[in-house]
Structure 1
Amino acid sequence: MTYRVCFVCTGNICRSPMAESVFRARVAEAGLGDLIEADSAGTGGWHEGDSADPRTVAVLDGAGYGTEHTARRFQPSWFSRLDLVIALDSGHLRALRRLAPTEEDTAKVRLMRSYDPAADDLEVPDPYYGGPEGFEECLEMVEAASDGLLAAVREHVEGQAA
């Protein structure tokens, strides 16, 4: 059975597509691509149908990650097919938990940086209104959290297989 993770930020053009790309790469490196799927969405629909922000694409390309992305808005009906919904900041966390139809669905929503044991702040700041350094910082945070996230998901997936 496939384990499904969805990363969520505001408009689905900066942080969440970055997190999706990094996590997909970690999943592929671990040889778990047939067991784990990742995608992303935004809490709002302002950028639906758009590609990822060019600065996100540049940072991902520079770090060796690829991204083919079309922005979309998170739908409450998706909870039924998702195992984990990863919010990039506490505003997204609150919005997603309000959308969750059941308590079980509410429990699926977690903060990205909660998977980084070295994180002293659980927010991944929105780089949209800043320069390239904000996108680089965002990538560093996402990469650091992706290892812990993969370990948690892998433990769950391997537990299901046992």
Structure 2
Amino acid sequence: MKKVLFVCLGNICRSPLAEGLAKHLANEKGVSDQFYFDSCGTSRYHIGEQPDDRTLKNAANNGIKLDHQARQFEKKDFRDFDYILAMDAANLSNIKILDQAKQFGDKLYLMRDFDPNNPGADVPDPYFGGEQGFQNVYDILERSVNNFIETELI
């Protein structure tokens, strides 16, 4: 089983949506037994909170159910996960700082490394925007997560 951790800043917008999407897509493809998905944030801002209401609404509008409580990235996540997918370069940098011995670089990726439309770009943070920003993030994550799952099934 491949263990995958999605990481953003507060773990209430992008990463829980990526987690929910991944579970949904793996289930649709009949491969949910091959993956374990989780998400977290690099900050402590929202520990224990549910995803942002706008994220929940966007997920529901796209047929995705989210069931997650925000948590902060911990050093043990390096050992516990096979893939750590950061939503943007800033969060990837924050994760790399915690890998002081530089042992886990082979597990670290940007989420959009798997986006066929714009590989390596950041997933924009929709927190300060409106509904369209959340839908844009959904579309990016759907492409990226789907491609990640397909790549890992090969």
Same fold (TM over 0.5): yes
**Equivalent AA in structure 1 for residue 128 of structure 2:** Y
Where 1:34 maps in the other structure, the secondary structure is: helix
Q: Match of 2:88? A: 89
Provide, for residues 77-131 of structure 1, a one-character-per-residue CA deviation record: whole Å limited to 9, x for no partner.
1111100000000001111111125434122110111101211661111100111
1:122-141 matches, within 5 Å, as 122-141=121-140
**Equivalent AA in structure 2 for residue 56 of structure 1:** T
Distance 1:86 1:139 in 2: 16
Query: How many residue pairs get matched?
Result: 154
Q: Match of 1:53? A: 52
Distance 2:45 2:57 in 1: 22
Distance 2:144 2:113 in 1: 7
Where 1:8 maps in the other structure, the secondary structure is: strand
CA contact (8 A) 2:112 2:119 kept: no
Distance 1:101 1:77 in 2: 13
Provide, for residues 57-79 of structure 1, a one-character-per-residue CA deviation record: whole Å limited to 9, x for no partner.
00000000000110000101111
**TM-score when scaled to structure 1?**
0.90
Which stretches in structure 1 are left out of the alignment for 5+ residues? 156-162
**TM-score when scaled to structure 2?**
0.95
Distance 1:8 1:121 in 2: 15
Distance 1:48 1:86 in 2: 19
CA contact (8 A) 2:113 2:119 kept: no
Where 1:98 maps in the other structure, the secondary structure is: helix
CA contact (8 A) 1:76 1:101 kept: no
1:1-162 matches, within 5 Å, as 2-119=1-118, 122-155=121-154
Query: Percent of aligned pairs with the same residue?
Result: 34
Distance 2:6 2:18 in 1: 7
**Aligned-residue CA RMSD in angstroms?**
1.3
Check 1:120–1:146 CA distance in 2 against 1; reply closer, same or farther (3 A cut).
Answer: closer
